Amino acid sequence: MKGTTTQRGLIGLLGLFLSVICAVLLAKDASAAGSVKVKSAEVSEISGAWHLYVKIELPKPPSIPHVPMRFVFTKTMVYERALIDGHSEPVLNRQSVSNQTPSTESLDVDFADAQGKIYKGTNFDFDLTRTRGYEAGEYKLQVRTADGVDIGGSTTIILKGDNPVVDRRSITFDAKKKPIQKVDNGVDGGSKTGPDESEFAAPTTGDVTPAGSAAPFIPQSAYTPTDEEQGKDHPKGCGCSLPGNRTENGIALFFSLGMIGLVFARRRRA
């Protein structure tokens, strides 16, 4: 009988423990209950910002008029505008992303009116800006209390707008290729990748055909030997005499002496 009584007591204590746990969980679920609704799931960008309107409902009125809450946005899809080959205008690419770091906006939500009366529900609006790191795309929104309790479930927000253009065109370094060069025997010589020889003033190899005639750099007379080089009329002797003919020099000297003598004779007669 004692064993049966002890077992019943243990069962009763276990049931009480489970009841307490269930009550705690239910109380937590009740506090986490509520709802969050957005006025519009698609929000257009105006001057670099998106203005969101949400309606928040709590299970009961809070104890304070301004409740600190966290609005957690997790990016799920990016709207990329890219330049691609074959298109002159940017093309919109919807790129799904995962494991993104959430962006959190910590805001104080007002549940009271002008008279100070507190309600369990409120309409709240705020801005998301590009300066805060947001861009056009899709986000998952989850509203939580300051201590981490979720308010309602998550909802999808679409931020519409034009993101900066990304250039994804292929880079081509080659210009238009020259026509295929043919050899004389009819065999394909392959693509002509070297420089075009027609661009040069003359062929790089082989004989050069002159385009005209011009005076030689060294005159033809330079090749004709002079009289001295040929040895003509070279005076005899040791080579130490003065230039000129000795006979011509003697006649000139005799004529000069005669003239001097004539001058002196005239002076004497006078």
Taken in order of first residue, the domains within the chain and their CATH numbers are: 33-167 (2.60.40.1930)
Predicted confidence at residue 260, as pLDDT, reads: 75
For the CA atoms of 12, 17, 23, 28, the dihedral, rounded to the nearest 10 degrees, stands at: -170
DSSP SS3 for 131: helix
How far apart are the C-alpha atoms of 33 and 60, rounded to whole Å?
10
Measured from the Cβ of residue 82, the count of other Cβ atoms closer than 10 Å reads 16
Q: What contacts 254, CB < 8 A, 6 or more positions away?
A: none
- pLDDT tens per residue, the chain (270 residues)? 545 555 565 566 556 555 545 444 444 444 457 999 999 999 999 999 999 999 999 999 999 999 999 999 999 999 999 999 988 899 999 999 999 999 999 999 999 999 999 999 999 999 999 999 999 999 999 999 999 999 999 999 999 999 999 999 987 655 555 555 555 555 555 555 555 555 555 555 556 666 666 666 676 666 677 666 666 555 555 555 555 555 556 666 666 777 777 766 666 665
Predicted confidence at residue 189, as pLDDT, reads: 52
Predicted confidence at residue 62, as pLDDT, reads: 95
Predicted confidence at residue 140, as pLDDT, reads: 98
Query: Do residues 152 and 35 touch, judged by C-beta distance below 8 A?
Result: yes
